[in-house]
Amino acid sequence: MTIRNALLVDDSKVARFTLSKLLKSSNLEVAMAGSAEEALDLLSNSDRPDVIFMDHLMPGMNGIEAARAIRNNPATADIPIVMCTSGKSPEFEEKALQMGITEILSKPPARDGVTRVLEKLAAMPVAEPRQPGPAESVEPANDPDIPLLTADQVAMAARAEVKSQISEQLHERLTQLFDEQISYLRHDLGEQGGLHTSLLNDKLDALEAILDNHHKTLQEAVTREVGRQLEQALAVVRRDLLASTQQLLTERLDELTRQAESRREADLEMWQTLQADTLVQASEAARQQAEQIARHLDELASNRRRKGSRALWTGGLIISVSALLAGTAWLSGWLG
């Protein structure tokens, strides 16, 4: 079915204004009523809407009672009714569907909820309005719970109609003024925003220059302070390193001195031992050589005696003894 116009029934002006804005944004023509009684009067005296958005709790006749009256009227029985309520629950939904409610919309309404309801209504098949026969009355007389309208109720409905027309005109005028004020505010905000942006950029540039200057000053101060602290730290490290180096050199020199003394004593002891061993070996070698020379001289003496040459024997002996003494003196000088 095609949804072109809607009847909005709610005792709250704020709720009517909010929901009407959402419906009009969906290209719907919206008529409004501030009570269930006013809505029933509109339905009997004006063109029928394609859908009715009915508030649940209202003074006087509530939304459920108004929906029952609409369903009991053959001229309005096929109009879809959307119940607007803040007390949505599974029990209420079941009861509302049993009373002829087509769909339930949560309050406060949201754009996606209104769109969902309208799409569901648009997908429904078109229901032909049932015309009352000669024996049928337009009044909901077949429902004993709904009484006939009295003169006071008719007068109240008339006053409600006047109030509805005035409210509709006020609503349109307020909407127009609201849109104009919003347009003006947006324009002013745009200009003010540009001016503020320019001023803000100037302030930011000045602040950036100040920060750069402070940064350079701070950097120089930090550099000087760090350099001073590094010099102090290096001086302390240099002093400690020098003291440690001197102490280490002193300890190392003492150790080397002790090692040299120990080495010198060991070398001296070894040299004395070697000298003593060499003297012993030289004495032994001289003794052995002297014995050999003596045996040789004995042999020569024997031979010379045999030959009768005593003078030659004596000269050889002198020469051998001289050689022995010379060798002993040389060996003593080499060892000394």
* Rounded percentage of the chain residues whose pLDDT exceeds 90: 19
| Residue 142 pLDDT | 45
- Flag whether pLDDT at 16 surpasses 50: yes
Q: Are 76 and 43 in contact (CB under 8 A)?
A: yes
Tens of pLDDT along 235-265?
A: 888 888 888 888 888 888 888 888 888 888 8
Q: Among 80-89, 130-139, 169-178, 271-280, whose mean pLDDT is lowest?
A: 130-139
- Flag whether pLDDT at 288 surpasses 70: yes
Tens of pLDDT along 194-209?
A: 677 777 888 888 888 8
Say which residue, 231 or 167, is predicted with more confidence: 231
Confidence of residue 28 (pLDDT cuts 50, 70, 90): very high
CA-based nearest residue to 153, from 75, 69, 78, 84 = 69
Tokens in use for 243? 């003291």
Say which residue, 132 or 18, is predicted with more confidence: 18
Strand order in the sheet with 51-55: 29-33, 5-9, 51-55, 81-85, 103-106
Length of the chain: 336
Tens of pLDDT along 113-166?
A: 999 999 999 888 765 555 544 444 444 444 445 455 556 656 666 666 566 556
* Rounded percentage of the chain residues whose pLDDT exceeds 70: 76
Mean pLDDT of the chain: 79
Q: Among 55-64, 139-148, 310-319, whose mean pLDDT is lowest?
A: 139-148
| Residue 84 pLDDT | 92
> Rounded to the nearest 5°, which phi and psi values hold at 126?
-75, 130
| Residue 141 pLDDT | 40
Q: Find all residues with CB under 8 Å of 328, minimum gap 6, and list them.
A: 282, 286
DSSP state of 100: T
CA-based nearest residue to 39, from 91, 85, 2, 79 = 79
Alpha-carbon gap, residue 332 to 27, rounded angstroms: 142
| Residue 24 pLDDT | 93
DSSP state of 304: H
Alpha-carbon gap, residue 244 to 84, rounded angstroms: 93
Q: Is the pTM of this model over 0.85?
A: no
H/E run at residue 5: strand 5-9
Most confident stretch, 13-27, 91-105, 220-234: 13-27
Q: Are 79 and 33 in contact (CB under 8 A)?
A: no
